[in-house]
Amino acid sequence: MNKLGQFCIATLCMAAPFTATAGEIGEIQWHGFLTGAYMATSGAGEDVHYAGDVSDNGTTKDTRLGLTVTTQVDEKWRFAAQMKAKGVDDFQMEMDWAYATYDYSDGFAVNVGEIKYPVGLYNEYIEVGYTYPWIRAPETFYNQDIFGPNLTRISYSGVGLEFSSLGDESETNLNIFGGLLDVGDGHVNQLIGAKLGFNWADILRLQLSAATGLMEIEAGPRAAMNGERHTSYAAGIGLDMESFVFSTEISAATMGVDVMDSTSGYVMMGYRFGDFMPHVTYGHWDVKGGWGQKDITLGLRTELTSNTALKIDVKQVTPGDKYNNNDVSAGYGLFNAKPEEDKVLIYGVALELVF
């Protein structure tokens, strides 16, 4: 959370008096989400971790609580901010994002602050597990570890211009954004990107995006990329009919170091039988250096109430077989070291709640 985001949330708190249920001009609304998750690997071996802290010992570190606060300050200005506490951060409450929006009209709005990163069909609500079928959105596209595909982040600091055109049942959006991206061990400076989205009746979603920036990483395993340009392209299709659910996204990314160039994506299909939705997902992450991965996930989402869902996922991961020794990255797929088995099972259960 940078100073711009802190300024936005401070302004929000001063701008409007608290009420629990209102939503009129000058009043604040609170909403929240909770994920209780357990995940474990089978066949990874001792001290081998998958995409963070998932190991044979199991982990609850995907468990998280979030609170979102929004207010309409006047007829044109509104503020929104999200705080979250995650198991992986020992449940320390921290600001996720905070930004102000000026609604010039239904066709044009300007966002300023620490803004949700708009690339990807699911990224803008990636922390809210209730909104998608899996326990984790496909890691071959959405993983944010330094070893991952490096396509998405939670938020960026800067300005976003949103142009919208509303049809009878459709909505077309163009989001042009620019600023600074925090990548954990450094920054992507001079970030500029664009996302073109189309939504038809919330049934069909199409998305194209491109983003580029200059990396500033002075230490750590990615220091070789310091000063290099990071560029990514992504395309996605989402289909959500009454019963049939489908989504797919593909991407290509370059990071100025030849062996790090990668393509990635996934395809998911699901079918709703009343409150139950079984689904299957195939994901791939191909890195020029050879240490990507392929995975297949079988999952079941069950609606317990209108705001609570239970999920069970089983994933089989086949990591790439080339270990990278040039200190740019290291790992087999999204594992931190070579797993014992060629194919590793990852299983998990999660309870998702929004309120």
Partner 1 sequence: MKTYVSTLMLMVVLIFTAAIAHADEVVLIVNPANTLSELTLKDVKKIYLGKSKFFPGGGKVIPADQLEKSTVRKIFYEVMIGKSASRLKAYWSKRIFTGKGTPPIIKKNDEAMLAWVAEQPLALGYVYRKSVNDSVKVLNLK
Binding site for partner 1 (CB under 8 A): 21-25, 29, 31, 33, 66, 68, 70, 75, 80-82, 97, 99, 101, 103, 105-106, 116, 124-125, 127-128, 130-131, 166, 168, 171, 202, 303, 306-307, 354
Question: What does the alpha-carbon distance between residue 225 and residue 215 come to, in Å, rounded to a whole number?
Answer: 7
Minimum gap (Å) between residue 82 Cβ and partner 1: 7
- Positive/negative CA dihedral, 294, 145, 39, 55: positive
Question: What does the alpha-carbon distance between residue 137 and residue 266 come to, in Å, rounded to a whole number?
Answer: 10
Minimum gap (Å) between residue 205 Cβ and partner 1: 11
- Strand stretches in the chain, DSSP E: 28-42, 64-72, 77-86, 94-105, 108-116, 155-166, 170-182, 187-200, 204-216, 229-240, 244-254, 262-271, 276-287, 293-305, 308-319, 344-354
Decide whether 24 or 90 has the Cβ nearer to partner 1: 24
Find the DSSP H helices in the chain. 3-15, 139-142
Minimum gap (Å) between residue 10 Cβ and partner 1: 16
148-178 burial: b if 16+ Cβ within 10 Å, else e: bbbbbbbbbbbbbebeeeeeeeeeebebebb
Amino acid at residue number 34 = L
Chain centroid to CA 280: how far?
19
Q: Which of 129, 137, 199 is nearest to 171 (CA)?
A: 199
Decide whether 38 or 125 has the Cβ nearer to partner 1: 125
Decide whether 108 or 227 has the Cβ nearer to partner 1: 108
Minimum gap (Å) between residue 110 Cβ and partner 1: 13
- Six token digits for residue 92: 């320390």
Minimum gap (Å) between residue 274 Cβ and partner 1: 11
Minimum gap (Å) between residue 271 Cβ and partner 1: 16
Decide whether 237 or 345 has the Cβ nearer to partner 1: 237
Decide whether 124 or 139 has the Cβ nearer to partner 1: 124
Decide whether 130 or 291 has the Cβ nearer to partner 1: 130
